[in-house]
Structure 1
Amino acid sequence: MGKIITGATMSLDGYIAGPDESGFDLLFQWYGNGDVELPSASPDVPPFHISAASAELIKPEWESIGALVVGRHLYDLTNTWGGRHPLDVTTVVLTHRRPDDRPEDDENFVFVTDGIEAAVARARQLAGDKNVVVNGGQMARQCLEAGLLDEVGVELVPVLLGGGKTLFGELGAVPVQFEGPTAVVEGTGVTHLRYQVKK
């Protein structure tokens, strides 16, 4: 069975999105500043071009992913990535109500309405022996509070956003400690950090 992982690209002042969903152009510059191409399965998202140092870490991590868990907000914000997530895996969407234009689940999107535990369990089924990645923000917070999370990845970029959304949102029980970093990789315009959740 694979791990349950969350992570995000983060500003130096700790935000994964700026005020009013801003700052993504600054946060994700590292996706286009290198010579190594990583393909995208989304018709709306071009291939990524990252540094060799970043690719050495990121490529095997992406290949180890079997399913994703995201919230309805991100699903809507990205306009469903044009119908397929860039990582080319099934995306489990946790929502209060499934979209009217998606009456049935398919190989691209599965909708779960009964909580984070059910969403992660469904993603585990889809992923098989591979890892499940849970989106940052409310999904990450719920997953951590439910004791489901194994690993956290942070892609730290040299920008200050001054406010916005944090990786774990408003945690209900703090402090939370992690083990590591288990990896520190310096890419171009980004430092990759990996931590294990203390169980």
Structure 2
Amino acid sequence: MSKVFSHMTMSLDGYIADPENQVGELFDWYTAGNVSVPSHYENVTFDVDEASAQALRELTESAGALVTGRRLFDIADGWDDSHPSGARVVVVTHKPPANAEERWPKTIFVEAVDVAIAEAKKIAGKKDVTIASANVTQQALDLGLVDEVCVSLVPVLFGEGIPYFAKPKQGHLLLEDPVVIQGHRALHLRYPVRR
């Protein structure tokens, strides 16, 4: 059965980027090993350790659609209309880029998180939906649309920046015990959302 999960690489103190949207050392784990994990791009591979390769394959090979926000979409320049996981992209935004239909014809732009998740589920079919956005993750958690929260926790302290999680609208949210994979330069954690 397909799932909706979020995944972000996060600093030990809870940030997914610094105040200027820079990731600094957060993605060092993608080049910290000798096991090559291919991406959807022919010329891009991730060179990680064996444990991280297992975690990365689980995340990317199961992804049928990716939901993101406009900020990450703009930073990544829309991944040239083809995300490295190979999954179709759904962007939550109140204002799509002016040339969106021409420049990113495979990308879908919607205004609401619940609509984005529903659209992504249709696209994904039996595969999973991945949320790659802190803001969209928080909204989806508040709406009860997330099955699992995934974090690749890295050994760096930013001190400030863009947090992965904000204050939940319904107060605290309980998660189940994590599945833990110890990688080199990252600890991969998967927390099912308690229902």
Report the TM-score when normalising by structure 2. Answer: 0.93
Point out the more displaced range, 98-107 or 63-72: 98-107
SS of the counterpart of 2:51? helix
SS of the counterpart of 2:17? coil
Residues 107 and 41 of structure 1, relative CA distance in 2, 3 Å threshold: farther
Residues 106 and 184 of structure 1, relative CA distance in 2, 3 Å threshold: same
SS of the counterpart of 1:28? helix
In structure 2, give the amino acid aligned to 1:15. Y
SS of the counterpart of 1:96? coil
SS of the counterpart of 1:126? helix
User: Taking every aligned residue pair, what percent have the same amino acid on both sides?
Assistant: 39
Measure how far apart 1:30 and its partner are. Answer: 0.1
Matched, 1:140 2:137: yes
Kept in 2, the 8 Å contact 1:69–1:92? The answer is yes
In structure 2, give the amino acid aligned to 1:36. V
RMSD: 1.9
State how far apart, in whole Å, the 2-side matches of 1:176 and 1:142 are: 13
Matched, 1:12 2:9: no
Which sections of structure 1, spanning at least 5 residues, go unmatched?
none
Matched, 1:191 2:190: no
State how far apart, in whole Å, the 2-side matches of 1:132 and 1:7 are: 10
The aligned counterpart of 1:86 is 84
SS of the counterpart of 1:179? coil
Query: Residues 6-65 of structure 1, C-alpha deviation per residue, up to 9 Å, x if partnerless?
Result: 02111111111112213x13000000111111223348x832111111112221331111
In structure 2, give the amino acid aligned to 1:127. A
Matched, 1:61 2:59: yes
Residues 55 and 61 of structure 1, relative CA distance in 2, 3 Å threshold: same
SS of the counterpart of 1:178? coil
Residues 120-135 of structure 1: pairs in structure 2 closer than 5 A: 120-135=117-132
Residues 1-199 of structure 1: pairs in structure 2 closer than 5 A: 1-22=1-22, 24-42=23-41, 46-103=44-101, 108-113=106-111, 115-181=112-178, 183-199=179-195
Point out the more displaced range, 147-156 or 166-175: 166-175
Measure how far apart 1:100 and its partner are. Answer: 1.6
Matched residue count: 195
In structure 2, give the amino acid aligned to 1:2. S
SS of the counterpart of 2:36? strand
State how far apart, in whole Å, the 2-side matches of 1:161 and 1:195 are: 23
Which sections of structure 2, spanning at least 5 residues, go unmatched?
none
Measure how far apart 1:80 and its partner are. Answer: 1.3
Measure how far apart 1:83 and its partner are. Answer: 3.0
Query: Residues 145-182 of structure 1, C-alpha deviation per residue, up to 9 Å, x if partnerless?
Result: 0010100111111100001111123432321110011x
Kept in 2, the 8 Å contact 1:5–1:149? The answer is yes
State how far apart, in whole Å, the 2-side matches of 1:128 and 1:107 are: 20
